[in-house]
Amino acid sequence: MKLNIKRILKITLPLLLGVFLVWYSLSQISIDELLEYVKKADYSWIVLGMFLGLLSHLSRAYRWQFQLEPMGYKIRLGNSIMAVFATYLINYTIPRAGEVARASILTNYEDVPFEKGFGTIVAERIADMIVMLGIIAVTLFLQFDFIYGFLVEKFDPIKIAVGLVGLIILFLFFTRFIKRSNSKIALKIRAFVNGLIEGALSIFKMKKKWAFIFHTLFIWGMYVLMFYVTSFSLEATSDIPFAAILIGFIAASFSIAATNGGIGSYPEAIVLAFLLFNIPEDPSRAFGWIMWASQTLLIIIFGGLSLIYLPIFNRSKKVKS
């Protein structure tokens, strides 16, 4: 009974939060004003952003083959591409259900055992997480003066210093506790961290590790670039500093985990990030919706076509064989 409630909450809470954030976002800007931004947008930049997003997804599908080859599975690129797009589309309905569907597609059409296919997806996510942490670290390094100045302006420097020292002490105590404790939570955290390290190290054991690393960097490079070029679609966001782009990208990326596909949360995360740079809310919110809608449209089109064409593609292959 408790398990069913937990599953229901995992599905309904992100959906309800997304609905609330959509309502909140649209209550902060009139539909007419939002549509006015959309009408005046330069669609050449939006289409370019969509193309860069498409390249990142294709690269992800190609990269997946490098993980499966060492286990003796050479999957067809078409199935890999369609499985990736199906994943993104299904995640708009039930969070994380897409990853399960992606592994199931390989099982059904490429005879890859589910647990092995799912394991490669987990390892892939670990690699993505490492790159994301790298982007955050680079942003903090490049924008240290801005971030420090912002914190000093908003907060007492002495309180900041005390807070940082306090966080370091808490972190050291927490790390020591996790290492020594045998509680369920501590064991789960240890298993997660060990899996993170093992997954990261496994990358260097691949035959095509450098190709995998290249595609991983390429995927995230395309993510940042699609965000950047789409900002040129609106006159009000065309000359914002690159620091705002990086912080906005990071905030938007985390927002995707909050609701189904970032619905509602994506544009509001961008608004909060851009406010740090005194960029007005209305164009920031309009940019957020344009950015989210263009990439969502890309997923709906290619994800929908993938789900339709998957059985047709594999049926024709069987007939030929």
Q: Quick: pLDDT tens for 195-207.
A: 556 655 666 677 7
Please name the residue that has the structure tokens 């929908």: 304
DSSP output for 37-84? HHHHS-HHHHHHHHHHHHHHHHHHHHHHHHHHGGGT----HHHHHHHH
Which range, of 87-101, 155-169, 224-238, averages the lowest pLDDT? 155-169
36 pLDDT band, cuts 50/70/90, is: very high
Which whole number is the average pLDDT over 249-272? 89
Please name the residue that has the structure tokens 């906005």: 248
Instruction: Write down the pTM of the prediction.
Output: 0.82
The overall average pLDDT reported for the chain is 85
154 pLDDT band, cuts 50/70/90, is: low
Q: Quick: pLDDT tens for 185-198.
A: 877 777 767 655 66
Q: Quick: pLDDT tens for 67-124.
A: 888 778 888 999 999 999 999 999 888 777 888 889 899 899 988 888 888 888 888 8
Report residue 70 as tokens. Answer: 């060492």
DSSP 241: -
Terminal CA-to-CA distance of the chain, rounded, Å? Answer: 48
Cα–Cα distance for residue pair 16/51, rounded to 1 Å: 31
- Work out the angle between the directed axes of helices 43-68 and 281-320 (0-180°, nearest 10): 50
> Looking at 98-201, which runs of residues are DSSP E strands?
none
Residue ranges per structural domain of the chain: 52-320
